[in-house]
Amino acid sequence: MTGLVSFFRRLEGPQTVGRGPAFWSLFAVVLAAALAYPLFSDGYTVGNTVYFFVWVFIALSLCVIWGYGGSLSFGQTAFFGIAGYGYGVLTLNFGSAYGFTLVALVAAVAIAALFAVLLGYFMFFGRIAGVFLGIVTLAVTLMLERFMAQTAGPEWHIGSARLNGFNGMSAMPPLTIPWPGEPIVLFADVGLYYLVLGLLVLVYLALRILMNSSFGNVIVAIRENPERAEMLGYDIRKYQLITFVIGAALAGLSGVLYTVWGQYITPSSMSMTAAALPLIWVAVGGRSDLTSTVIGTLVVLAAFQALTIYGSQYALVFMGVLLVLTVLIAPNGLVLGVMNWLGRLATRFTQKAG
């Protein structure tokens, strides 16, 4: 029991909105609903929901790097693409037997993280900060997009995997769990849904613990005042690099899951539009809070998809308007604003009752 109490205590702190029995009861209800949802829905709709969930990881990566760490990375899609292509190359070469797709998932995420170590080292140890960090990361992702787009010829291949230029790679095997008798293939419906939901809950809780730990304290301290943080004896470059790599791994996870979900990956996943959209989800939700980022991303994505169906030409314009409105009305995020307002309301209510 005390173990459970101390576990919940580590999940809560000044860095995350939502605490106490009321919040965690609500969390349990939402989780239970998410677990039961495939029972009341069809495979296609569930698969569509998986698509939404997949993007939450890249949103969380921006939340960590930008919202908590204060470094605006415009190139999270670079890691998304690298991991997506990485999974494709690995599985098209080595197949899916013996649970290799799971190995490929981990390896692809690791490749993206390794790339972030290299890029991050030059940026943070070279003291690149502020808007320049955004420019460098955006340049990297656009460069990767351009590069992959010109790999159409048959000479562009890694092993037996053709890169296929602008059309991208496809037909990589879905995630397969080895099982005695028949291996379990996670197609983009109920099977993949539970895996992605499980990963989402795991990542969300782990990030809550990380951000409320002493490491998280240093990360937000660097956001608030890097000079002061360094003059408290913290090697801020090291902390920034670690945060960047964690973010890259999350964006990479998003990329792999996206590739697994649709069984394709194209260079446009690293394009300008692809790079800008996660910024909007996170800014609208509330970049400095994990919960707000998750809710904001899901809501904006659902709205975006509805708009694409009913008026595709306006969907991107609407996204731009939404961003402008957020910056003007609630610069810290609409969802975070509402959550803080609810929090204040609850406090006032309990004070009156008490």
Partner 1 sequence: MSLLELRELNKHFGGLHVTNGVNLTLEPGEIHCLIGPNGAGKSTLFRLILGEHHPGSGDILFAGENITALKSFARIHRGLSVKFQVPGVFKGLSVRQNLEIALQSRHRGAGLEAEIGRLLTFLGLESEQTQTAGNLSHGQKQWLEIGMAISLKPRLLLLDEPTAGMSPEETHMTGEMVQRLNADGMTVLAIEHDMAFVRQVARRVTVLHLGQVFAQGSIEEIVANERVAAIYLGQAHA
Residues that bind partner 1 in the complex, under the rule CB under 8 A = 14, 214, 217-218, 220-221, 223-225, 227-236
Least Å from the CB of residue 35 to partner 1: 35
In the complex with partner 1, the residue whose CB is nearer, 162 or 223, is: 223
Least Å from the CB of residue 231 to partner 1: 5
Q: What's the alpha-carbon Rg for the chain, to the nearest Å?
A: 21
Q: Write the DSSP assignment of 307-330 as a string of letters.
A: HHHHHHHHHHHHHHHHHHHHHHH-
In the complex with partner 1, the residue whose CB is nearer, 146 or 228, is: 228
- Between CA 344 and CA 337, with CA 205 as vertex, the angle to 5 degrees is 25
In the complex with partner 1, the residue whose CB is nearer, 197 or 222, is: 222
In the complex with partner 1, the residue whose CB is nearer, 48 or 217, is: 217
In the complex with partner 1, the residue whose CB is nearer, 8 or 98, is: 8
Least Å from the CB of residue 19 to partner 1: 14
Residue-wise over 199-221: b if at least 16 C-beta within 10 A, else e?
bbeebbeebbbbbbeeebbbbbb
Least Å from the CB of residue 288 to partner 1: 8
- Between CA 118 and CA 97, with CA 263 as vertex, the angle to 5 degrees is 85
Instruction: Answer yes or no: are the C-beta atoms of 190 and 53 closer than 8 Å.
Output: no
How far is residue 111's CA from residue 79's CA, in Å, rounded to a whole number? 9
In the complex with partner 1, the residue whose CB is nearer, 231 or 317, is: 231
Least Å from the CB of residue 59 to partner 1: 21
Beta strands at 161-162 and 184-186: parallel, antiparallel or unpaired: unpaired
Q: Is 174 helix (H, G, I), strand (E, B) or coil?
A: coil
Least Å from the CB of residue 218 to partner 1: 7
Q: Is the dihedral of CA 327, 220, 18, 275 positive or negative?
A: positive
Going by C-alpha positions, the residue among 73, 83, 10 that lies closest to residue 247 is 73
